[in-house]
Structure 1
Amino acid sequence: MLRNIFKEYASPFALRRMGIMGMNKRNISYISRYNPRRLYPLVDNKLHTKRISLEAGVTVPELIGVVEYQHQVSHLWEMIKDWPGFCIKPAKGSGGKGILVIERHDQERFIKPSGKEETIGDLERHISNILAGLFSLGGKPDVALIEALINFDDVFEGFSFEGVPDTRIIVFKGFPVMAMMRLSTDASDGKANLHQGAVGVGLDINTGRAIRAVQHNLPIRYHPDTGRDLLELKVPYWEEMLSLSSSCYEMSGLGYIGTDMVLDKQKGPMLLELNARPGLAIQTANGAGLVPRLKKIEKLGRDIKMTPEQRVVFSRREFAV
């Protein structure tokens, strides 16, 4: 798979020289080694993640309500009637599965970012599917979260199509090591999910500026729906984003995590979720491997006495493009 992604590099030896990390190395050398299994529920369940985030003073999207049991589904309208837009998501979902975004409604028609209309019955069926575990890890029964919509910053106008762009930063032992922005497209149905056709834009860890962009693992220059030049992208409040991602190490106790964040127009950087098993496509977006950066941090030793801000300074200096 990695050879298909990095087609311009001929052999596994070239990939190794680039420091490209495969799934086995990720699972054995980093996830298993640095992520205690007892802490997985804190990040595998978005409700738990929201709780520990609020306790740590981290800004997260506002929670409208939670549906835990089937008999509560019929009360959905009472929860959402005063909210012009909202997002329904499974607490234990992964890969963007089961997320339903409603941009606006008139009490009868509920409009998705794509313009497609849903009824209250459609929303209730979707929540019932969430409760049944249709979108959860391992197909286990789940609960549905209903959150307020994010009012994403106008600075990203044209970079994303009918959806909120988010920023993924890989954090190792509290050090931000690699970053990308995920931009929704018509193909991804307004979701920032690379597997569904969203665009991944690699970011310079020092400046937050775009360095490369891909869709379906192939390099691109312009957004497929808006035509915007993706290499013009620069994430504002970048130092705050890095500090927020770095602080998630202390908050979660996990040594190797993916932090997903958004930029709200009023509230600034907000944490969407944490991932204890972050994917490897971020290497494709950056055209670079994770291994050299991870090894550089491992060389610092086991007991690193640095604040999140100090770790950010280190990462910006050592991993700048």
Structure 2
Amino acid sequence: MNWISPLRLRRAGILSMNRRNVGYIGRYNERASYPLVDNKLKTKLIAAEFDVPTPHLLQVVTQQHEISHFRELVDELGGFAIKPAKGSGGKGITVITRRKGDDYVKASGAAVSLETLERHLSNILAGLYSLGGTPDVAIVESLVKPNAKLAKYSYQGVPDIRIVVFQGYPVMAMLRLATTDSDGKANLHQGAVGVGLDIGTGQSLNAVQFNKAIRLHPDTGLTLANIAIDNWRDMLEMASRCYEATGLGYMGVDLVVDAEQGPLLLELNARPGLAIQMANGEGLLPRLKAIESLKRFHRSPEARVAYAMEMFARPIQQA
């Protein structure tokens, strides 16, 4: 990647990691609120109180002897997801899409045995995937069935939408699409595609992979222009309500569109990455400063979303 001068980055309004950490995460995120987002189980419980739907919780495995109940549970299920409550960056998440005889087929197409899944649960409890390696609990959730309109753009993985929320205002968003490089995960650092989304309309803008601009998905070959997200305002309002739920001033809200249930919250992130700026072709700083300069904040999620959709919409390009 070519070197870019700090002056050019500042002029582009790019938020740097140091400035994000000190000026936004450190300043606006109370430490007491971190457990609500660093623990997926706590996130699910608090989200329910603020009318933010999440995938259905099937089982919580807290001790080794409870793994036997998992065997009974999944015997009747075709698909499900196993997640470490305190995992980060998608580590430790196993998604099962269907059964194949006595085996279970992962999103990547690989088949695993029930014994393999039980060992995975044991590893989660031991803290193999948790922040700091501390003992953890395992969550078993219903399988998200991605909306077909979006799923066709992703490769062996569920597409999700990351929305950066500042002081309750959605300021920037992107669609994340899995690829072969990302091993079916929507993680840009691992090679997923990031597609910038217009806050005003939910329409796709730019697309990047490994911080380089692309026009087509590397695996599906589909063009990434003219993607439109349905129920866009509803998704922004869901993300905005997470501010009241957690009290975090600066966070990433990850949503997915289920074919049957509509938008669902996957997880919250108190330290969202900065690659969203590359996907949007625009820096976060001007938008963050616009919120900071408000003389009076809008009290309701609906009002904050209405302001953001008008304030941060991309100008319509003239033909």
Coarse TM-score class (shorter-chain normalised): over 0.9
Instruction: State the partner residue of 2:153.
Output: 159
The answer to whether the 8 A contact 1:81-1:107 is kept is no
Q: What SS is found at the alignment partner of 1:192?
A: coil
Which of 250, 254, 257 is the aligned partner of 2:251? 257
Instruction: State the partner residue of 2:317.
Output: none
Deviation, structure 1 residue 195: 1.7
Aligned residue type for 1:290: L
- State yes or no: 1:179 paired with 2:176: no
- State yes or no: 1:18 paired with 2:18: no
Q: What SS is found at the alignment partner of 2:263?
A: strand
Correspondence list, 1:143-154, <5 A: 143-154=137-148
Instruction: State the partner residue of 1:105.
Output: 99
Q: What SS is found at the alignment partner of 1:296?
A: helix
Aligned residues: 314
Deviation, structure 1 residue 272: 0.9
Correspondence list, 1:176-215, <5 A: 176-215=170-209
Deviation, structure 1 residue 76: 2.1
Instruction: State the partner residue of 1:283.
Output: 277
Aligned residue type for 1:244: M
Instruction: State the partner residue of 1:304.
Output: 297
Deviation, structure 1 residue 218: 1.2
The answer to whether the 8 A contact 2:88-2:131 is kept is yes
The answer to whether the 8 A contact 1:258-1:275 is kept is yes
- State yes or no: 1:270 paired with 2:264: yes
Deviation, structure 1 residue 107: 5.4
Which of 230, 234, 238 is the aligned partner of 2:228? 234
Instruction: State the partner residue of 1:314.
Output: 307
Q: What SS is found at the alignment partner of 1:146?
A: strand
- State yes or no: 1:34 paired with 2:28: yes
TM-score by length of 2: 0.95
Which string of whole-angstrom CA distances, capped at 9 and with x for unpartnered residues, describes residues 201-258 of structure 1? 1111111111111111111111111101011311111111111111111111111110
Q: What SS is found at the alignment partner of 1:182?
A: strand
User: Which whole-Å CA distance do the structure 2 matches of 1:85 and 1:248 have between them?
Assistant: 28
Deviation, structure 1 residue 317: 1.2
Q: What SS is found at the alignment partner of 2:237?
A: helix
User: Which whole-Å CA distance do the structure 2 matches of 1:320 and 1:236 have between them?
Assistant: 16
- State yes or no: 1:292 paired with 2:282: no
RMSD: 1.3
User: Which whole-Å CA distance do the structure 2 matches of 1:135 and 1:16 have between them?
Assistant: 36
Listed as ranges, the gaps of 5+ residues in structure 1 are none
Deviation, structure 1 residue 158: 2.2
Aligned residue type for 1:31: I
Aligned residue type for 2:297: I
Which string of whole-angstrom CA distances, capped at 9 and with x for unpartnered residues, describes residues 47-87 of structure 1? 00000111222211001101111222233211212211000
- State yes or no: 1:248 paired with 2:235: no
Which of 51, 71, 74 is the aligned partner of 1:77? 71
Deviation, structure 1 residue 16: 0.6
Deviation, structure 1 residue 196: 1.7
User: Which whole-Å CA distance do the structure 1 matches of 2:226 and 2:297 have between them?
Assistant: 36
Query: Percent of pairs identical after alignment?
Result: 57
Which of 108, 127, 131 is the aligned partner of 1:133? 127
The answer to whether the 8 A contact 1:194-1:215 is kept is yes
User: Which whole-Å CA distance do the structure 2 matches of 1:317 and 1:52 have between them?
Assistant: 29
The answer to whether the 8 A contact 1:184-1:193 is kept is yes
Q: What SS is found at the alignment partner of 2:15?
A: coil
Which string of whole-angstrom CA distances, capped at 9 and with x for unpartnered residues, describes residues 139-173 of structure 1? 11111101001111111142111111000000000
Instruction: State the partner residue of 1:122.
Output: 116
User: Which whole-Å CA distance do the structure 1 matches of 2:106 and 2:202 have between them?
Assistant: 30
TM-score by length of 1: 0.95
- State yes or no: 1:48 paired with 2:42: yes
Runs of 4+ in 1 over 6 A off after TM superposition: none
User: Which whole-Å CA distance do the structure 2 matches of 1:83 and 1:246 have between them?
Assistant: 33
The answer to whether the 8 A contact 2:151-2:159 is kept is no
Q: What SS is found at the alignment partner of 1:232?
A: coil
The answer to whether the 8 A contact 1:64-1:80 is kept is no
Q: What SS is found at the alignment partner of 2:194?
A: strand
Aligned residue type for 1:275: N
